[in-house]
Amino acid sequence: MQSISPHRPRFQQVADRLRALIAAGELGEHSALPSERGIAEKYGISRMTARRALEALESEGLVYNEDRRGRFVSPRRLNYDVSNMVSFAADAQARGMDLEIELITVKETAADAELAEKLSVDAGEPLHEYTRLFRSNGYAIFLETECVIARRFPDLLDHDLRQSTTRLLERHYGTSARTGDIVIRMRGVRAEEAALMGLAISHPGIELEQVIRDGAGSPFCFGRQIWRGELAEFSARAIVNPENAG
Amino acid sequence: MQSISPHRPRFQQVADRLRALIAAGELGEHSALPSERGIAEKYGISRMTARRALEALESEGLVYNEDRRGRFVSPRRLNYDVSNMVSFAADAQARGMDLEIELITVKETAADAELAEKLSVDAGEPLHEYTRLFRSNGYAIFLETECVIARRFPDLLDHDLRQSTTRLLERHYGTSARTGDIVIRMRGVRAEEAALMGLAISHPGIELEQVIRDGAGSPFCFGRQIWRGELAEFSARAIVNPENAG
DNA sequence: GGTGGGTTCTGGTATATACCAGCCGAAGTT
DNA sequence: AACTTCGGCTGGTATATACCAGAACCCACC
């Protein structure tokens, strides 16, 4: 049965058994795993070792950890097609997915050097900035902060921001998103982000940045999302650039 | 100085100081951080607490961990533009980047249900499968396993696979990659993968899958890469689908 | 019918200790 | 010059213990 290696570490063996429980469907999506203390007692290991087993499952994305509440089975991942520049919100609603948007903060700021470059404006340019938390069925998915050029969208913050801003900007200002430049990278969630999403600090996450441009190619919005790593799946379509193929 | 919260955990405080060291440039890319024992002694904490501080930096992607060798400062991330379907190898070479490809395994297999679906062939279809490790300046970047339809590329495995296969298939078989379907998700590296890359198990990683299609839209290659999370950065370009915009 | 306190869950932080296992270089051997 | 061995580095595994802090639930009290 376990002829793989002479000394498969205990925490791995326990992780294997928990993994098997989940694979067998004994534990459905979002259902609670046994507690660290419970596992320690059941398998005759110390609590710290039990924790290592659970952490192994977390790093696989099989399990997630809510700060001081327990560990739960990760649900199926949510797919976001980044090549098709309809916002996640608009896309999700079109597919009939349950999606709640909570407005966390709103403020008026000014572009720093980095934002100025990304949005092709001068540093100091007034911006609307807002942070929103996206949930599905009550579970946090990602946290997003967007910055839009205030001059182009006066009184934007008077609208209800608990909806797709892509659609909002289209309807009320006639600006539609035509292209986007996207960057994806992995990083742990920061303490404040974790607190807002109810997760333990350093929860694995994926950051997605996008610069959104209008039909004339002018950027008007910069967004940065931090997704729960175990939930995110991004798909994209690639097409050979004819110039390179020539 | 530390008026942020009543009890900022010690491991966080130590992580802050190490982070500051790196930010100040005292430690350059790939240079070794102090050992767990060294940190414990220097800051008057236990070794386990020192480790937690280091793990916090790892999850941020600021530091990486080589199994039983030590922890090192992460270098600048490598960018891979997934929208432009030139392979990473071809692209890297074009940009003059140092890139070594090590062939790990080669075998002849048959498509299982999943691969059959992805490659639009019947289950059991013969495939060439090979695994390669990509390095730059001696440092592992990602591990890739590709499966190509054997019937279309006879004797492929007789060629030197330590080069861009996109280019190889183009030159010797007249098949060029035209489009690709890509999926990106986060997951910890598995034990075997970690061993090949010299990393500790559960090292944070990003998996990238791609189905590559020819000019006729027929898939001929399926690849799965596992990148070191702290090194990877994927960029993509989005364009609104005119059908959705209508 | 809510509100305030419990108690009891959960994980989070922290220490001290022990030994294991791979890596590496230096020293000694062939 | 190549090879082996060994000792001292590194992190990895594992235990036992203690107390802290937030979440949840229940119940008694108003």
Distance B29 CA to D11 C1' (A): 20
* C-alpha triplet A154, A160, A163: angle, nearest 5°: 110
Of A3, A43, A2, nearest in space to A21 by CA: A43
User: Cβ contacts (< 8 Å) between A201 and chain B: which residues?
Assistant: 56
Paired tokens of A129? 């900035």
pLDDT of residue B206: 98
pLDDT (0 to 100) of residue B242 = 60
B82 closest CB neighbour out of A60, A185, A236: A236
| Host H or E run for residue B75 | none
Closest CA to A61 of B205, B95, B64: B205
Angstrom distance, B34 CA to C27 C1':
27
Domains of chain B from N-terminus onward: 10-73 (1.10.10.10), 78-235 (3.40.1410.10)
Please tell me the predicted confidence (pLDDT) of residue A212: 96
- Give the pLDDT of residue B84: 87
B229 φ, ψ to 5°? -55, -40
Contact B66, B56 (CB under 8 A): no
Residue A188 sits at the chain B interface (C-beta within 8 Å)? yes
**Can you count the helices (H) and strands (E) in chain A?**
8, 10
The chain-wide mean pLDDT, for chain A, equals 93
The CA-atom distances, in angstroms, between B227 and each of A96, A204, B97, B145 are 33, 15, 17, 12
Residues of chain B contacting residue A206, judged by C-beta atoms under 8 Å apart: 185-186, 206
Using DSSP bridges, classify how beta strands A232-239 and B204-213 pair: parallel, antiparallel or unpaired: unpaired
pLDDT, residue A85, reads 78
Distance CA A188, CA A228 (A): 9
In chain A, which among 47-76 make CB contacts under 8 A with chain B? 55-56, 59-61
Q: Cα dist. A156→A102, A132, A160, A161 in Å?
A: 17, 15, 9, 9
SS3 call for B112 = coil
SS3 label, residue A235 = strand
A87 to chain B, closest Cα gap in Å:
10
Q: Are A132 and A147 in contact (CB under 8 A)?
A: no
Residue A15 CB-density burial (10 A; 0-12 exposed, 13-18 middle, 19+ buried):
buried
- List phi, psi (to 5°) of A129: -130, 135
* Distance separating alpha carbons of residues B121 and A195, to the nearest angstrom: 47
- Is the CB of A52 within 7 Å of strand D? yes
Structure tokens that stand for A138 in this block: 């009550």
Which DSSP state fits A162?
S
Token pair in block for residue A23 = 């694979």
Note whether A230 contacts B202, CB cutoff 8 Å: no
pLDDT digits (tens, 9 = 90+) for A187-236: 999 999 999 999 999 999 999 999 999 999 999 999 999 999 999 999 99
User: Residue A172 pLDDT more than 90?
Assistant: yes
Residue A89 buriedness (CB in 10 A; 0-12 / 13-18 / 19+):
buried
**pLDDT at B245 (0 to 100):** 45
Indicate if CB(B200) is under 7 A from strand D: yes
Predicted local distance difference test score (pLDDT) of residue B4: 42
Distance CA A85, CA B86 (A): 22
A2-43 confidence digits (pLDDT tens): 334 568 999 999 999 999 999 999 899 999 999 999 999 999
Helices (H), B3-111: 10-23, 36-43, 47-60, 88-94
| Contact call for residues A83 and A237 (beta carbons, < 8 A) | yes
Across the interface, whether the CB atoms of A84 and B244 are under 8 A apart is answered: yes
Q: Which of residues 69-108 of A touch B (CB under 8 A)?
A: 77, 82-86
* Cross-chain residue pair A233–B82, CB shorter than 8 Å: no
Q: Which residues of chain B have pLDDT under 70?
A: 1-6, 242-246
At residue B211, the 3 state secondary structure works out as: strand
The tens digit of pLDDT for each residue in A44-72 reads 999 999 999 999 999 999 999 999 999 99
Instruction: Give nearest nucleotide to B46 (CA–C1').
Output: C15
Q: Flag whether pLDDT at A244 surpasses 60.
A: no
In A86-151, DSSP assigns E strands to 100-110, 126-136, 139-149
For the stretch B78-110, pLDDT in tens is 999 999 877 889 888 888 999 999 999 999 999
User: Cβ A185–B232 below 8 Å, yes or no?
Assistant: yes
Nucleotides of D under 7 A from a protein CB: 9-18, 20-24
Q: Is the CB of B70 under 7 A from strand C?
A: no
pLDDT digits (tens, 9 = 90+) for A181-196: 999 999 999 999 999 9
